[in-house]
A and B are shown apart, each in its own frame.
Chain A
Amino acid sequence: MTRITAWRRHPLARYAVLILALALVGTVYATFVQVSRPADAALAAGKVDDVAEGKSLFEAHCSSCHGLNAQGTATGPTLIGVGAAAVDFQMSTGRMPASDPGAQVPRKPLPDWVKKNPDAIRQISAYVQSLGGGPQVPGKEQVDPKLGDAAKGGELFRANCIQCHNWAGAGGALTRGKYAPNLNEATPEQIYEAMVTGPQAMPVFNDSTITPEEKRNMIAYITQVREQKDPGGFGLGRIGPVTEGLVVWIVGILALVLASIWITAKKRQKS
């Protein structure tokens, strides 16, 4: 007892208590912040900043077509309720901001202001998400092709996707200048986002009918097929009988014609 009393009266005791108290507060705060960060609560300070930053970026780069409050104009649709996934898809593929109106907005390199500011897409996504909800950007694990079952995904892909995108994801033509793009450049995130948001003419495949797990299987199929080598030699764009027929007619038959000309040509005789 006397020993404890002696420690308490030690001249350094007050500093020790102060340090202990600070450490305790710090630890509690740190644990609290660590728990609350993945919980994606709106009160997290960073998120509010993202929305504010995103709003100013949106007003600078997007509002001329989509309206100052993303309500849509004659040249651009409303973005209320499209969700962060739609913004991430359109901007990360370079489709938005669109350069000129046409039948379809093509994939293109990112504009400089997006390249210089790696947070820009996330911030605009956060702003659009805050307007009316909608599909979220998927997590890394949610789209990891390694975790998917390519065989099961292939079944779904063949039933629902190949009519436009071709069995190997090579894409194809649609009506009046529109087309289904090839899937070779699309990242797993972009494939997922395209399915849940239905960009441009593409239909929507929402998570309640095609579950996120089934989507991951399809992503596994798409990435596996595009990495496959062509066992028969040249893939010819893998777009099927059209190119194959073209090559047979132009190259094959031309070769046959030239060979028969050579075999049967009459040699000029001297005299």
Chain B
Amino acid sequence: MTDNEHEIEQPDERVPKRVIGTPAPGTSLLGDQPEAAAAATAGGETPGVTLQDEQKARKAERIVSLCFLITFAAGIAFLIFYVILPVGSPEATGLSNLALGGTLTLAVLGLAVGIVVWVRQIMPKYSLVQDRHDMVSAKEDRAVVAETFLQGANESGFVKRKMLRRTLLLGAAPLGLIPLILLRDLDNNDMPASQFHNELRHTVWGEKTKEGKNLRLVVEGTGQPIRAADFNSPGGILSVVPEGYEHDLTVLAKATLILIKFRPEEIKSGTNKNWTHDGIVAYSKICTHVGCPAALYEQTTHHILCPCHQSTFDAADGAKVIFGPAARPLPQLPISVDDQGYLIAQGDFAVPVGPSFWERGDAEAAVRAKGGQA
């Protein structure tokens, strides 16, 4: 309809017969109720509309007003609590949160309940019948759309003028390529993708200290280096981090270990004994499924359980998977002791730690081909 404001003469066929989604002219929102409508009109009332019983409505009015009064009181209480309640300590903040949240909830709830009761008990009831319109548009509508589209296509010259079409497609091509290039570098490490792949494969355990020594294992939480002779109770476990990186979370996300002490006869063939020291074995704490910290250790069964998806590893047998969705054992870190008797890393993990990634391939097979060394 608005098109006609421009006073451009339109062919009759282009003028829409009616706005799509509205009832066709001449149909009533109230459905086909000619007799009822006639009767209602005769009585001076709107057809299909039932007024509420005045007595009940008055009762409801009081309920609604009560709800609104509750809203008023709760709103005032909110302001008062906001002013008088201190928020210095955690306990005081907790109380303040409870008071403010509670009063605000009460205020909004009172408003909501009041409005619903208002609508349900006081406002008149309508019985509306609205037919669903057909899923398919009318035949003439579809014909108009198709015609309009083709006409537009022809008028634009997209079909006829080849140079326009080709340069447009050419111009759009780089725009389509941009996301692909951006995706390749979707990491926050400020490093090229090749180095990022390297990052996935290695942890800081392969590094040396400034003095050129291998990194010591230190207790997570205290930073104390661990003397092998002190970690001497079979059934013991410790969460361990690399020396010098105790608080570097980016490093710890890959390099955190669990250190387990066994009686020597408990260690099975799956564990690489050259990488242990006196019954002490170090495994990556990062689950090979999706990277949760797997450290629920049962000293009686030697199970390491991951809390996220119940992957279970046999710590005595090279942390092989005995249950759950993890596909590979927890990588074992080669450890040894330095001249002062402290536990050190012999080097980095032989295989990438943590969950799988696209380029990981069969890292275990690659290690075996190199002779099983890190």
- Is the pair A206, B312 in contact by a Cβ cutoff of 8 Å? no
- By a CB distance below 8 angstroms, the chain B residues around A205 are 236-238
Complex: how many Å from CA A231 to CA B206? 45
- Any chain A CB within 8 A of the CB of B231? yes
Q: Are B323 and A160 closer than 8 Å at their CB atoms?
A: no
B237 to chain A, nearest CB (A): 4
CB of A26 closer than 8 Å to a CB of B: no
Instruction: Determine which of B94, B97, B234, B307 lies in contact with A172 in the assembled complex, contact meaning CB atoms within 8 Å.
Output: B307
**A119 CB–B CB distance under 8 Å:** no
Say yes or no for B226: interface residue by CB 8 A criterion. Answer: yes
CB atoms of A155 and B222 under 8 A apart? yes
A202 to B235: give the CA distance in the assembly, Å: 8
Shortest Cβ distance from residue B307 to the other chain A in the assembled complex, whole angstroms:
6
Contacts of B226 in A (CB 8 A): 209
Check A232/B307 contact, CB under 8 A, given A201-B298, A204-B233: no
Q: Are B298 and A206 in contact (CB-based, < 8 A)? A: no
| Contact residue among B90, B227, B297 (Cβ-Cβ distance under 8 Å from A203) | B297
Dominant SS among interface residues on chain A: loop
> What mask results when residues 54 to 84 of chain A are scored 1 for a CB within 8 Å of chain B, else 0?
0000000000000000000000000000000
Contact status B236-A175, CB under 8 Å: no
Interface residues of A in 186-212 (CB under 8 A from B): 198, 200-206, 208-210
CB of A229 within 8 A of chain B?
yes
Check B301 against A200 for contact (C-beta < 8 Å): no
Contact residues of B between 292 and 351, Cβ < 8 Å to A? 293, 295-301, 303, 305, 307, 310, 312, 323
Cβ < 8 Å to B, chain A residues 148-180: 152, 155-160, 163-164, 172, 174-176, 178, 180
* Interface: B195 (CB within 8 A): no
The answer to whether B236 touches A163, judged by C-beta atoms less than 8 angstroms apart, is no
Alpha-carbon distance between A180 and B219 when the two chains are bound, in angstroms: 22
B160: CB under 8 A from chain A? no
- For B219, what are the chain A residues with a Cβ–Cβ distance below 8 Å? 156, 159, 209-210
Please determine whether A178 and B298 come into contact, CB atoms closer than 8 angstroms.
yes
Given A208-B232, A209-B230, A175 and B222 touching (CB < 8 A)?
no
Interchain CB contact under 8 A, B297 and A214: no
Q: Which of A176, A231, A262, A269 contacts B97 (CB 8 A)?
A: A231
The binding surface of chain B is classed by DSSP as mixed
A39 sits at the interface (CB 8 A): no
Q: Does A263 touch B at the CB level, under 8 Å?
A: yes
The smallest C-beta distance from B123 to any residue of chain A, in angstroms, reads 11
Knowing A174-B305, A203-B235, say if A164 contacts B222 (CB, 8 Å): no
Pair A158/B221 contact, Cβ less than 8 Å:
yes
Q: How far is the CB of A159 from chain B (nearest CB, A)?
A: 4
Whether A202 and B299, one on each chain, are in contact in the complex, defined by CB atoms closer than 8 angstroms, is yes
CA distance A175 to B297 in the complex (A): 10
Known: A203-B236, A209-B231. A229 touches B299 (CB 8 A): no
Q: Does B98 contact A (CB under 8 A)?
A: yes
A175 touches B97 (CB 8 A): no
Q: How far is the CB of B139 from chain A (nearest CB, A)?
A: 36
Say whether B220 faces chain A, with CB atoms less than 8 Å apart.
Answer: yes
What residues of chain A lie closer than 8 Å to B303, measured between beta carbons?
174-175
Asked whether B221 lies within 8 Å of A262 as measured between CB atoms, the reply is: no
Residue contact B234 to A204, C-beta cutoff 8 Å: yes
Q: Is B239 an interface residue (CB 8 A)?
A: yes
- Is A46's CB within 8 Å of the partner chain B? no
A: interface residue count bin: 35 or more
The 8 Å CB contact of B220, one of A160, A230, A267, A269, is A160
Complex partner residue of A229 from B91, B220, B227, B295, CB under 8 angstroms: B91
Q: Would you call B125 and A267 a contact (CB within 8 A)?
A: yes
- Cβ distance A53 to chain B, nearest Cβ, rounded Å: 29
Residues of B within 8 A of A198 (CB): 233, 235-236, 299
Given A200-B300, A203-B237, A209-B236, answer yes or no on A163-B293 (Cβ-Cβ < 8 Å).
yes
B133 to nearest A CB, angstroms?
23
Q: Which residues of the other chain, A, contact B373 by a CB distance below 8 angstroms?
A: none
**Closest CB in chain A relative to B52 CB, distance in Å:** 9
Q: Which residue of A155, A175, A210, A262 has the most chain B CB atoms within 10 A of its CB atom?
A: A175
The answer on a CB contact under 8 Å between B231 and A208 is yes
Whole-angstrom distance between the Cβ of A243 and the nearest chain B Cβ = 15
Which of B50, B232, B323 makes the CB contact (< 8 A) with A206? B232
Residue of B nearest to A166 (CB): B307
B220 in contact with A201 (CB, 8 Å): no
Contacts A175-B323, A262-B116 given; indicate if A232 touches B297 (C-beta within 8 A). no
Interchain residue pairs with CB less than 8 A apart (7): A155-B222, A175-B312, A198-B236, A201-B301, A203-B298, A204-B233, A269-B125
Known A-B contacts: A203-B299, A210-B219, A210-B238. Give 11 more (CB < 8 A): A155-B222, A160-B238, A163-B293, A163-B296, A174-B303, A175-B301, A175-B312, A204-B237, A205-B238, A229-B94, A267-B120
Task: Tell me the B residues contacting A by CB distance below 8 Å.
Answer: 50, 90-91, 93-94, 97-98, 116, 120, 125, 127, 219-222, 226-227, 229-239, 260-261, 293, 295-301, 303, 305, 307, 310, 312, 323
A-B interface, 10 closest residue pairs, ranked by CB to CB distance from nearest: A231-B94, A208-B230, A201-B298, A159-B220, A156-B221, A203-B237, A155-B221, A206-B233, A159-B221, A204-B233
Write the residues of chain A forming the contact surface with B, with a CB cutoff of 8 angstroms. 152, 155-160, 163-164, 172, 174-176, 178, 180, 198, 200-206, 208-210, 214, 229-233, 262-263, 267, 269
